[in-house]
């Protein structure tokens, strides 16, 4: 054998070894061929072998250690003497005990945190009755088991008791992905039903992957008869349209007679989807076609060099470079955070000032009612104002971006709430 051939053989051998080595790396990830059943796919751990990068980030939603230098208004925890603690809203914002008086949110209300805690937090909340009396509907945005149960029992699932269905299975892959081809989907049937109203005005929801987020990051109430989750989108998604929906359906579970004023008020819940995409003032980012995933799930590159989407949902201000700098390179990372917090601080201060003003109005109306110093029609008018002002204020207060998702709309809504509170004060003072 001459030297040249020997050399070529040696090179081929090295090449073959390298190839085998590479293949071993690639083989670690199995090819996804679908799950045979929803039950199998409801176990998020079962997806790890096929999509390890997304799986590991999904697990990492349990991290509570956001750098307080990155975000002033976001994040799940507070730092007290360097220790991470859950944020107790009732201690931080005392006006909530007045605005929600007579409703469970005035007894227990913590700031939201990562998907890993969704189920645990609803199991531990001080807001709900005993397990046997809690409807399974409360699990709708907390557990992947809902997908299996809805398939099995249809709408009857929602009126089963909590104890019958709750297991240790927080929000996971099957909530947003089809079990056969892993495509992005909204599994809950109530999203499809809400879309049937065809009331979106600013954007076309057709085929959007962020409809998966609309399963949970939306305002909702229970259907009075079936306890099924209902999105109040009959007339549209703006705050006025949603209040019109409550006015037209009769009293639902999230409405209560306010303990201090006697007004019938409705509790709004986290309308991230609606504020971002819809409003009388439209929002620059939604207008450009961005969806939740563009900022909350930016593109990453895994060890093998493949692109995938970030699955550790948290404040985008912790990953500005991946989410914002493509468009805002001129501002730089610090500039993006500064400008974001400038729009947030305006909303944050206004929503808290109005929280105090609303609580002040509530106390005065309550006192006037007790003293009997108002005519029946004055009392009725003031209660109607309370209902409307509280709905507007709450819509922004419970939205989790402190106005960032649509700051012009958030300011418009709060300004309307303030005008109403002032009108109400004129009646009771
Ligand atoms: C243009 C970028 C962008 C888009 C698109 C976007 N968000 Fe956000 N989101 C943000 C920013 C910025 C914050 C504020 C984070 C902070 O205060 O640290 C935020 C905050 C949040 C929070 C609270 C996070 C926390 O740390 O408390 C949630 C929940 C959320 N967004 C959900 C959504 C949903 C659901 C959608 C789609 C309807 C969406 N976002 C679309 C940028 C975006
Ligand atoms: C099945 C319900 C469900 C779906 C689907 C869902 N979320 Fe959530 N999300 C929750 C719940 C519940 C919480 C709060 C958990 C807690 O506080 O225990 C939450 C919290 C968050 C937070 C706050 C995390 C933090 O650290 O404060 C962000 C950001 C977020 N979700 C983004 C999204 C985005 C983006 C989508 C769509 C791709 C989405 N979520 C889809 C239920 C859901
Ligand atoms: C809250 C909803 C949600 C959950 C939970 C979720 N995903 Fe995703 N996933 C998405 C969305 C939305 C996209 C598409 C993002 C885009 O279009 O940019 C996506 C994309 C993907 C993709 C396509 C490649 C990529 O990364 O873009 C895979 C694979 C995937 N997810 C796997 C998983 C696995 C595995 C889990 C569970 C460990 C999981 N996902 C949990 C919403 C979710
Ligand atoms: C697809 C492009 C695009 C992406 C991605 C994007 N933005 Fe924007 N953003 C814009 C445009 C366009 C405007 C309006 C024009 C302007 O102010 O430059 C804007 C405006 C803003 C403003 C208002 C600034 C002001 O002072 O009025 C803030 C704050 C902002 N973006 C923050 C963010 C953050 C935070 C992210 C990432 C989480 C982000 N943007 C992602 C395109 C984008």
For residue 54 and ligand 3, the question of a CB distance below 6 A is answered with yes
The residue whose C-alpha atom lies closest to atom 25 belonging to ligand 3 is 308
pLDDT of 111 over the 90 cut: no
The residue whose C-alpha atom lies closest to atom 10 belonging to ligand 2 is 115
The HSE-up count of residue 225 (CA atoms within 13 Å, CB side) is: 2
Element containing residue 81 per DSSP (H, E): none
3-class DSSP assignment, residue 135: strand
Domain range summary for the chain, segments of one domain joined by +: 38-428
15-30, pLDDT tens digit by residue? 454 444 444 444 478 9
Query: Token digits for 247?
Result: 């006015």
Query: Token digits for 392?
Result: 């507007």
d(CA 273, CA 67): 26
Query: Token digits for 90?
Result: 């009732």
Closest Cα partner for 274 from 236, 321, 237? Answer: 237
d(CA 261, CA 258): 6
Centre of ligand 1 to C-alpha 171, Å, is 18
Pocket test for ligand 3, best of 60, 142, 176, 209 (most atoms within 8 A of CB): 176
- Give backbone dihedrals phi and psi of 378, rounded to 5 degrees, phi first: -65, -45
d(CA 273, CA 293): 12
pLDDT at 406: 98
Comparison of pLDDT for 330 and 77, the residue scoring more: 330
Neighbours of 153 (CB within 10 A): 15
DSSP 256-271: EE-TTT--EEE-----
Closest Cα partner for 215 from 179, 194, 238, 186? Answer: 186
387-420, pLDDT tens digit by residue? 999 999 999 999 999 999 999 999 999 999 999 9
Centre of ligand 2 to C-alpha 142, Å, is 9
The residue whose C-alpha atom lies closest to atom 39 belonging to ligand 1 is 292
pLDDT of 382 over the 60 cut: yes
pLDDT at 265: 97
For residues 201 and 240, the answer to whether their CB atoms sit within 8 Å is no
33-79, pLDDT tens digit by residue? 999 999 999 999 999 999 999 999 999 999 877 777 788 998 777 77
CATH 3.30.460.40 describes domain 38-428: no
pLDDT of 31 over the 70 cut: yes
pTM, to two decimals: 0.94
Comparison of pLDDT for 76 and 328, the residue scoring more: 328
Ligand number nearest to the C-alpha of 310:
3
pLDDT at 131: 65
Closest Cα partner for 219 from 210, 211, 227, 230? Answer: 230
Taking the CA of residue 66 as reference, the ligand 2 atom at the shortest distance is 26
115-159, pLDDT tens digit by residue? 999 888 887 776 666 666 778 888 899 999 999 999 999 999 998
- Tell me the percentage of the chain whose pLDDT exceeds 90: 75
pLDDT of 230 over the 60 cut: yes
């Amino acid at each position: 054998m001459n030297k040249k051939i020997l050399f070529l053989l040696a090179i081929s051998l090295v090449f073959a070894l390298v190839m085998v080595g590479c293949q071993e790396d690639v083989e670690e990830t199995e090819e996804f061929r679908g799950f045979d059943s929803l039950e199998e796919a409801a176990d998020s751990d079962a997806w790890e072998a096929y999509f390890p990068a997304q799986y590991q980030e999904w697990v990492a939603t349990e991290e509570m250690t956001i750098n307080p230098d990155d975000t002033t208004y976001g994040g799940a925890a507070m730092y007290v003497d360097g220790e991470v603690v859950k944020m107790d809203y009732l201690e931080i914002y005392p006006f909530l005990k007045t605005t929600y008086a007579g409703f469970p949110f005035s007894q227990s209300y913590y700031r939201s945190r990562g998907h890993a805690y969704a189920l645990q937090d609803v199991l531990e909340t001080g807001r709900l009755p005993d397990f046997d009396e809690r409807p399974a509907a409360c699990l709708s945005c907390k557990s992947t088991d809902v997908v299996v149960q809805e398939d099995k029992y249809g709408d009857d699932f929602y009126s089963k008791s909590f104890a019958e269905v709750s297991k240790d299975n927080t929000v996971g892959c099957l909530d947003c992905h089809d079990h056969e081809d892993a495509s992005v989907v909204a599994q809950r049937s109530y999203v499809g039903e809400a879309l049937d109203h065809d009331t979106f005005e600013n954007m076309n929801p057709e085929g959007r992957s962020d409809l998966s987020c609309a399963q949970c990051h939306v305002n909702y109430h229970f259907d009075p008869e079936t306890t099924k989750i209902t999105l109040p989108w009959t007339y549209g998604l703006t705050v006025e349209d949603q209040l019109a929906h409550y006015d037209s359906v009769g009293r639902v579970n999230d409405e209560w007679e306010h303990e201090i004023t006697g007004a019938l008020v409705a509790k709004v819940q986290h309308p991230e989807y609606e504020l971002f995409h819809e409003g009388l003032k439209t929002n620059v980012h939604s207008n450009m076609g961005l969806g939740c995933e563009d900022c909350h799930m930016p593109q990453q590159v895994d060890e093998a060099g493949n692109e995938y989407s970030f699955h550790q949902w948290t404040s985008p201000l912790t990953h500005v470079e991946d989410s914002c700098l493509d468009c805002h390179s001129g501002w730089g990372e610090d500039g993006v955070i500064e400008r974001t917090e400038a729009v947030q601080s305006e909303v944050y201060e206004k929503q808290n000032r109005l929280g105090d003003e609303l609580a002040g109005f509530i106390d005065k109306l309550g006192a006037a009612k007790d003293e009997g110093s108002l005519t029946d029609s004055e009392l009725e008018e003031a209660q109607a104002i309370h209902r409307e002002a509280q709905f507007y204020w709450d819509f922004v207060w419970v939205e989790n971006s402190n106005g960032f998702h649509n700051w012009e709309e958030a300011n418009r809504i709060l300004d309307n709430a303030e005008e109403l509170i002032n009108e109400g004060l004129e009646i009771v003072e």
